Amino acid sequence: MTTTRPARFRGIFPVVPTPFTESGELDLASQKRCVDFMIEAGSDGLCILANFSEQFLLSDDEREVLTRTVLEHVAGRVPVIVTTTHFSTTVCAERSRRAQAMGAAMLMVMPPYHGATFRVPEPQIHDFYARLSDAVDIPIMVQDAPAAGTPLSAAFLAKMAREIEHVAYFKIETAGAASKLRELIRLGGDAVEGPWDGEEAITLLPDLDAGATGSMTGGGYPDGIRPIIEAHRAGDRDQAFALYQRWLPLINHENRQSGFLAAKALMKEGGVIACEAPRHPWPTMHPETRKGLIETARRLDPLVLRWAT
């Protein structure tokens, strides 16, 4: 395996939603427009097949179609992270090899879990990521998210960064994210190439203060999030604070009210995609919740609401 890493990825890498038709089929034409919008809105990179992409509602064949479609359509304009999470080490490694072969710049992988109770202890988690690293030549991002129900201490994450070749990025979505990022950076040092913020940017500013170099948000308004990150990186914390304060009502609405349907509703409202429906059995957004989302967004005038025109 090569030991040469690409330049550190940083900035905003929002999650690409998966548009479906009204009958629940993949809508690849809308998918391509979605990608074009997100790139034009200032995304430094993209992430596909994440939880906010409704990956848990996709078949394996559909994952292959989406990975190939997006990577071919992006055509190197920005780096693309492909989520390849699976409980099985063998299945995850095979998914990851295929994603790498199609052009993925990085992999995002949650620790092994299934349902509410099936977990494995730290030695198996370490071995899982070590075997995955041996199977690929591109960076791996550990997704530390409540959905996995798997406690991953900063010390354990730093240990994996130091000991496993391609484990170098960490998306922290747990409570107290800023404190965990700070401790991870302290313990992991240079082995932690990418300490990243997540969870729709609801903790973005304290996470940036703690040393986060990237953020993985929802895909509806990269043009709102990117200037916050850039101002903070330039050392202008007052400007970063002012921008964050401006966009926080929309960030909060997505994080606490509308969830992964927010990006699709915004994109449908702006004509980016043809249909915002989730795939059954996930419920549609309540009309009043959607109304509040769109009203909040219109006060901010994000590109998504006018991109198609």
- Would you please indicate which residues are annotated as catalytic (active-site) residues? 171
What tokens appear for 38 in the block?
């997100």
CB count in 10 Å sphere of residue 216: 27
Token pair in block for residue 103: 């052009």
Sequence-ordered alpha helix ranges (H) in 204-279: 204-210, 222-233, 237-253, 261-269
Cα 270 off chain centre by = 22
DSSP-derived 3-state class of residue 155 = helix
Q: Give the helix ranges, DSSP H, for 89-150.
A: 89-102, 122-135
Q: Which DSSP state fits 140?
A: E
Sign of dihedral through CA atoms 141, 146, 152, 158? positive
Taking the CB of residue 75, how many other CB atoms lie within 10 A of it? Answer: 8
Contact 56, 22 (CB under 8 A): no
Which residues make Cβ contacts (< 8 Å) with residue 61, sequence separation at least 6? Answer: none
DSSP string, 7-51: SPP-EE-PBPP--B-TTS-B-HHHHHHHHHHHHHTT-S-EEESSG
